[in-house]
Amino acid sequence: MRPPTGDYPLRLEDEHIPMVRFQNVTKRYGDLVVLDSLDLDVEEGEMVTIIGPSGSGKTTVLRMLMALEMIDDGVIYLEGEPMTHMVKNGTLIRADKKYLRRQRLNIGMCFQHFNLFPHMTALENCIEAPIQVLGLSKTEAVERARDLLDMVGLLEKSDEHPSRLSGGQKQRVAIARSLAMRPKVMLFDEVTSALDPEVIGEVTQVIRKLVDKHNLTMLMVTHQMGFAREISDRVCFFYDGKIEEQGAPEQLFENPERERTQQFLSAVLEAT
């Protein structure tokens, strides 16, 4: 239980506290440095999109925030409280399992390959954690799940198993499943990459709705530049585990300053 090296506050006490703060976050797999002293703030209600070449660490950022794995250095803060660490005897120590489970409640995640539970119906997928983790009654959980399935346009598919749903429908159920936990931050990892082109729209439509109607904080990895540009408050271009460039979408897409950003964007435009 090594404390993080360097100086980290036990909690953020500035007058303005970001929803999420990555401070000096490093993640390695063996010798490979996947995230390299990353600093990133996400404000409450902000939609931040991450773009960048394959292998640049985009997924890793989300997985670290979801605490699917431990970071090697640095601290992630959530609403000013440390998320990856906890305070003990006036210092930060690695969060234990219990602390992590409580912190994870604030965060929802949607995966590229949906990861729906195949042996449960759409509705069962959406009520499992609210009942088991949040302690909702079955009636409450079902009501909440049906509202959300209705919101993503799949109320009539409530009793279907995932194997009977199309890719786009699966992803919409997965979004509903995450939202049922009422997270403060939603993470989307290439949620349209595994989909056939004609059903991508139904998923982006749902995300658009979330942005317009709810004040959710969102962090999204995508290869759909048009969608990113239209919907984001800020776009971060990742390269080699670092943020190479970030800014408002118009600025980053129209006047990228860095050469790597320009190369990446022209290569992506070439492909579409």
Partner 1 sequence: MFDWRWEFVGDILPRLLKATGNTLLAALLGYGIAVVLGLILALAQRTHYPLLNRTVREFVEFIRSTPLVLQIFFVFYVGPQFGIMLSPWTAGMIAIGLHYASYLSEVYRAGIDSVPMGQWEAATSLSLSAARTYSRIIIPQAIPTAFAGMGNYLVGIFKDTPMLSVIGVAELMHTANAIGSEHYRFLEPYTLVGLIFLAISLPTAGALRKAEGKIRENMGLR
Ligand X SMILES: Nc1ncnc2c1ncn2[C@@H]1O[C@H](COP(=O)(O)OP(=O)(O)O)[C@@H](O)[C@H]1O
Interface with ligand X by CB under 6 A: which residues? Answer: 29, 32, 34, 52, 54-60
Residues making up the chain, counted from first to last = 272
User: By CB under 5 A, is residue 60 in contact with Mg ion?
Assistant: no
Q: How many CB atoms lie within 10 A of CB 97?
A: 8
Q: Which does 115 bind (CB under 5 to 8 A by kind): Mg ion, ligand X, partner 1, none?
A: partner 1
Alpha-carbon distances of 136 from 15, 133, 159, 196, rounded to whole Å: 35, 8, 20, 36
In single-letter form, the type of residue at position 214 comes to H
Question: Which range binds partner 1 by CB under 8 A, 1-9, 35-43, 160-168, 258-266?
Answer: 160-168
Give the one residue of 26, 49, 59, 261 binding Mg ion; rule: CB under 5 A: 59
Q: Which does 128 bind (CB under 5 to 8 A by kind): Mg ion, partner 1, ligand X, none?
A: partner 1
Alpha-carbon distances of 125 from 62, 153, 181, rounded to whole Å: 22, 16, 12
Q: How far is the CB of 205 from Mg ion (least distance, A)?
A: 23
Question: Which range binds partner 1 by CB under 8 A, 44-52, 70-78, 96-104, 240-248?
Answer: 96-104
Give the one residue of 17, 33, 93, 105 binding partner 1; rule: CB under 8 A: 105
User: By CB under 5 A, is residue 49 in contact with Mg ion?
Assistant: no
Give the one residue of 115, 166, 246, 251 binding partner 1; rule: CB under 8 A: 115
The answer to whether residues 164 and 118 touch, using CB atoms and an 8 Å cutoff, is no
User: By CB under 8 A, is residue 265 in contact with partner 1?
Assistant: no
Label residue 94 left, alpha or beta by phi (over 0 means left) and psi (-120 to 50 means alpha).
Answer: beta
Q: Tell me which residues touch partner 1 (CB under 8 A).
A: 63, 66-68, 101-102, 104-105, 107-109, 111, 113-121, 128-129, 132-133, 161-164, 177-178, 181
